[in-house]
Structure 1
Amino acid sequence: MRLDLYLAQRHLYDSRVRAVRAVKEGCVRVNGKIITKPSYEIFPESDTVACDADPVPYVGRGALKLAYVLDKYTINVHNMTAIDIGASTGGFADVLLQSGASHVACVDVGHGQLAEKIRQDVRTAVYEDTDIRDFKIGEGTYDIACADVSFISIRLIIPHIYRLLKEGGTAVCLIKPQFEVGRKNLNKKGIVKDSETARRAAEETAEFIARSGFAVTGICPSPIKGGDGNTEYFCVCRRTLKIDV
């Protein structure tokens, strides 16, 4: 049996994604030896598996991105209603819940990725196989919206973030330049060819957001690169103007 699968099935970590991360970071030992390969084959009947505490207190490493931004911009989510767009394993949702959010709607076009810990939290509502552009529940009522989407420009969902937030609500949008600059500006690995192009794309996207009924509080690089190695940027903004979207 694969080591990561064993760890998840025995609930030694609360998701397979978290188990993979723990193995790669040297937190798991098999028969006293540190194993860093998630696919390492073990024999549950005879092998002894020991786990150290997970060094990241969230279900996904990406959660550290949002935790950084909430702290940097002093964003208080205590007793707030929130929506996590592109929830995936629930890293952003975990940060929101641990920060005291009263309700978090987790929306994702995929399914089966959300960590059980998040899924079982009574403050969480799960909407899988759902495109945010078709999502109507709670329109105009959310205090905060967090968005981390892939394979499309964040610009395509900005109007929908607008209609979901209440007046004065906060949006924390992760801008991924690789989905903004066009293929000609990417290398063979899908990385934006130069940092200036990436930075300019992020700034232009923030300007678009500012023209879409939001007051931009700030834009900053994410403290952690995306899984593909690209530098990403956060745009923090507040819903202000009443416009038709």
Structure 2
Amino acid sequence: MRLDLALVERGLARSRTHAARLIADGHVRLNDATVTRASQAVSADDRLEADVERWVSRAAHKLLGALDDSGVHVPARVLDAGASTGGFTQVCLDRGASTVFAVDVGHGQLVDELRNDPRVVVAEGRNVRDLTLDDVGGEPVGLVVGDLSFISLTLVLPALLGVLSDLSWTSRPDF
């Protein structure tokens, strides 16, 4: 069996894509030797280890840094605009959010761990430009986080401000 498939089958990676990233980054050991080829053959008797990243995506580190540097507290209700795989959503839950509205124009990107979390309200195929209070349960959210690098903020700010309770802080950190 291929190494990337073995990682998923043994529960050491969430998906083949995640497995490929772990392998490429040198975080996988096969019988105590670091392996960097996803196609490496693995047998049932081989010992397989992976240093698994806690966060579902690298984007989580961007938000962690922004929150830590700014001292912003994560409130109970949060909107993650452009949720993708869910790195920002995961951080918000970890920092105390009881509900995160994970909105993305794409489909099927949010990891199952978050998709199946009852605290996450998933809205796929939804453009943040068209958001209304109804999309966030009828009441404003206390914080909007988002990684919207492929759209101008001037196009999305009116909708985001319409679902946000107070405008206290905004930031758009680049990569």
Q: TM class by shorter-chain length?
A: 0.7 to 0.9
How far is 1:161 from its partner? 1.0
| Aligned CA distance change for structure 1 residues 15 and 172 (closer, same or farther; 3 Å) | farther
The match for 1:73 among 70, 75, 78 is: 70
How far is 1:85 from its partner? 0.8
Higher strand share: 1
Confirm whether residue 57 of structure 1 aligns to residue 54 of structure 2: yes
Aligned to 1:20: 20
- RCO higher in structure (CA 8 A, sep ≥6): 2
Once the two structures are superposed, the pairs formed by residues 166-181 of structure 1 within 5 Å of their partners are 166=165, 168-170=166-168, 172-174=170-172
Provide the C-alpha distance between the structure 2 equivalents of 1:157 and 1:5, rounded to a whole number of angstroms.
Answer: 39
TM normalised by structure 1 equals 0.62
| Aligned CA distance change for structure 1 residues 148 and 23 (closer, same or farther; 3 Å) | same
- Superposition RMSD on alpha carbons, in Å? 2.4
Alignment length (residue pairs)? 172
The amino acid that maps onto 2:57 is G
How far is 1:155 from its partner? 2.4
Q: Identity of paired residues, percent? A: 37
Aligned to 2:140: 141
The amino acid that maps onto 1:19 is A
Confirm whether residue 88 of structure 1 aligns to residue 84 of structure 2: yes
Aligned to 1:97: 93
Return structure 1 stretches of 4+ with deviation > 6 angstroms.
none
Provide the C-alpha distance between the structure 2 equivalents of 1:93 and 1:17, rounded to a whole number of angstroms.
Answer: 19
Is the CA contact 1:90–1:114 (under 8 Å) kept in the aligned structure 2?
yes
Describe the superposition over 1:67-87 as per-residue Cα deviations: whole angstroms up to 9, x where unpaired.
00001010111x520011111
Provide the C-alpha distance between the structure 2 equivalents of 1:19 and 1:112, rounded to a whole number of angstroms.
Answer: 18
Aligned to 1:158: 157
How far is 1:124 from its partner? 0.5
Provide the C-alpha distance between the structure 2 equivalents of 1:85 and 1:94, rounded to a whole number of angstroms.
Answer: 13
Gapped runs of 5+ residues in structure 2? none
Gapped runs of 5+ residues in structure 1? 175-221, 223-231, 234-245
The amino acid that maps onto 2:113 is K
How far is 1:150 from its partner? 3.8
Is the CA contact 1:140–1:163 (under 8 Å) kept in the aligned structure 2?
no
With 128-137 and 92-101 compared, the bigger mean Cα shift is at 128-137
| Aligned CA distance change for structure 1 residues 110 and 8 (closer, same or farther; 3 Å) | farther
Provide the C-alpha distance between the structure 2 equivalents of 1:17 and 1:95, rounded to a whole number of angstroms.
Answer: 21
Aligned to 2:30: 30
| Aligned CA distance change for structure 1 residues 72 and 125 (closer, same or farther; 3 Å) | same
| Aligned CA distance change for structure 1 residues 9 and 46 (closer, same or farther; 3 Å) | closer
How far is 1:24 from its partner? 2.5
Provide the C-alpha distance between the structure 1 equivalents of 2:9 and 2:127, rounded to a whole number of angstroms.
Answer: 30
